[in-house]
Amino acid sequence: MRGFRYLTILAVSGALLSAPASPSGARPPSPGGASASLFSVPPRLKVNVDFWRDVFVRYSASQVVLHDEEDLGRVYGTLPLGAPWTATRTQRRTLKDFEMSVRRFLLALADGRPLPPLPPGGEEMARRIRKMFKGRPPEEARSAAFLVRTQPGLRELIRGSYVRAGRHLPRFRRIFQKHGLPLELTLLPHVESSFRAMVYSRAGALGMWQFTRGTGRLFMRVDAVVDGRRDPYLSADAAARLLKRLHAALGSWPLALTAYNHGLGGVRRAVESVGSRDISEIVAKYRGRSFGFASRNFYAEFLAALQVHRNAKKHFGDLRPSQPDRFDSFHLPRYLSLAEISRRLGVPEGDLRALNPALRTPVIRGRRRVPRGYPMRLPEGAGERARRIFAPGLLPADAGAGAKWVMIRPGDTLSHIARRHRTSVAFLMEENELVSTRIHPGVRLRIPGGASIAKAFPAKEAPAAPAAPAKGGPGSASKPSPEKPKAPPARPSSPGRPAPLARSAPPPGGDGSSAPKSPSPREKALRGALAVRPTRDGSIGTVRVRENETLGRLALWLGVTPAALRRLNGLPPAGRIGVGEGLRVPLGGAPKAAFLERRLAFHRGVERDFFRKFKVIRTLRHKLRPGENVWTLTRRTFKAPFWLLQSYNPRKDLRRVAAGDALVVPVLEKRGK
């Protein structure tokens, strides 16, 4: 997860922080009464914490602090902007010019040259810099010249965050207490979003707790119907579970909080590189490629938040926080439209939309219904009435509630699927959150059923039939729905050719076709090879990478982003995965069975495409000679794909064969010869 970055000036940092207190200004209790020591300030981070505390409560939005990026105790001075910082082009250019002037000043100081004047407003800063480096080695000023950084003051933003936090902190504390976590962690939204629910970061993180889409799908529903990141309380529960998992993996809150910003894999690499679990050592010594200013300072900012929180009255006076949110909630027993819920309860739709920010545009506009089991929030006092009105057995039949899923097969296009199901490409793209019309075999598309699709795309009236049509000719009856093309006749088996994959249907909820009655041995073997081996809690599994699989394809089948898959496995941004490697996969975005069916469909398609072009005419027994390996066999000698060679040698690990090993090799011939 990445913090609230876009207000930081000309730098990669942007974690913002505000620290509201309880109405009395007292510090909230923590489970077990022991969390005071959990978040004590490490001596070596005190300078960093003091710097951020000043940024939060001392400097206003119309002031910019110029400081050293690595030594936060080296503050050169402040530059008045004359107006609050809004990141306009003029403001950015002004600050960039001033920053370059300070750099030239430091370089001249290091070289003993005449000191250039700083722009207007920098006279006091020039005197301060000369005093700061007087008697110091010239190399120190030269190094500092390339570490000049600017940071706007955040006092006004923090005051507003303090007021907004009053709405959410009571419920946040109950959620974190339920998970057995220190209640100080409920102040994390100050660092991430300044307690604003619809804040986007440059990395695509959204919401009060700043979840990216891939990470969010591991802990809550994020799709075209419901986006839990937009809801403060759904995302608070997700954040609590994520923090709990990070703490269990890393063993300390400083590391867990840093991983919340930088990622679990990144913090593990930092610990391994530095050889220490001390956050002060990591901040001082680790210089990973993506471990920038924001990640290095994330924990110090959080500690500054606690300090400001404990002294909120001193810093902000008698500000009055917003009143806590009050509402009732109940879980929907079935799919219902927002208009239907509003009509039955007598609650305006606008009130329902405001209380349920996780509901996406298709639901708001009536094209989709609120899903069954959704924790619907209602105005206070309406919960009991809702439970009576929506009691099981009192609602009419749920016509058309179920959605239909179709499996994309080789040769399918989005326009073909749209025509087949009487909808449009634009609707399919919106329902499945597609960013382009390019689709891949093995992925399932959701097509809303019944009333939803009929409402969005009503059927056109059929034209009048011509008079006295010929029997059985055009117009004699309504046009039947196109039949599913019949499977081509089975090809005669070739000598030594393995049994082809059974053309099994999609999983339950697919396009309605039935599953094969008896899978072939080849199908069973492939299912076993592609199966996911889950961990004890079932949220993470492991798979072996197969030929033709990429990180992007696996992420697509899992319903996560490639970046989330890389973070889970500690892979660098440009790292690749090899055939046969073990890969950890999250099972929150797609159930294990759905992921397996998507992989199966893809590899069935690969096999079908291959045997349309080639046939096995015979097999031979080949003993590997010195210098030969599987790569030379598949790419040079016999030019057979790895998966086909593996199917003829199921008991051998082809990645570990050596000279002298005997393999059964299929000999191929191109069809049409």
Over residues 561-580, the pLDDT tens digits come to 888 888 888 787 766 777 77
pLDDT value of position 536: 58
Please, are residues 597 and 506 in contact by the beta-carbon 8 Å criterion? yes
- Residue 21 in this model has a pLDDT that exceeds 60: no
CA distance 223 to 559: 10
Per-residue model confidence (pLDDT) at position 624: 84
In the structure, what pLDDT confidence band is assigned to residue 268 with cuts at 50, 70 and 90?
very high
First to last CA, the chain: 56
Rounded to whole angstroms, the Cα distance separating 320 from 115 reads: 50
Q: Which two tokens stand for residue 555?
A: 């992420």
Give the whole-angstrom CA distance, residue 150 versus residue 323: 36
DSSP string, 358-418: TB-HHHHTTSS-BPTT-EEEEETT-HHHHHHHT-TTSS---TT-S-EEEE--TT--HHHHH
> What is the mean predicted confidence (pLDDT) over 231-245?
96
For residue 651, pLDDT over 70 is answered with yes
Q: In 3-state terms, the chain is what percent helix, strand and coil (to 5)?
A: 40, 10, 45
pLDDT band at 35; cut points 50, 70, 90: low
Say yes or no to pLDDT of 26 above 60.
Answer: no
Q: How confident is the model at residue 654 (pLDDT cuts 50, 70, 90)?
A: confident
Q: What DSSP character marks residue 102?
A: H
Segment holding 667, helix H or strand E: strand 662-670
pLDDT of residue 395: 60
The number of beta carbons lying within 10 Å of the beta carbon of residue 332 is 17
Prediction pTM value: 0.61
Q: How confident is the model at residue 76 (pLDDT cuts 50, 70, 90)?
A: very high
Winning range, highest mean pLDDT, from 447-461, 521-535, 657-671? 657-671
Task: State which amino acid sits at residue 268.
Answer: R
AA letter at 657: V
pLDDT at position 31: 36
422 — pLDDT class (breaks 50, 70, 90): confident
Q: What is the 3-state secondary structure (H, E, C) of 608-636?
A: HHHHHHEEEEEEEEEECCCCCCHHHHHHH
Say yes or no to pLDDT of 523 above 80.
no
Burial 20-43 (b: 16+ CB within 10 A, else e): bbbeeeebbebeeeebeeebebbe
Choose the most confident range, by mean pLDDT, from 174-188, 380-394, 541-555, 640-654: 174-188
Q: How far apart are CA 197 and CA 189, in angstroms?
A: 9
Q: Which two tokens stand for residue 213?
A: 């889409």
Q: Minimal CA–CA distance to 15: which of 154, 149, 146, 163? A: 154
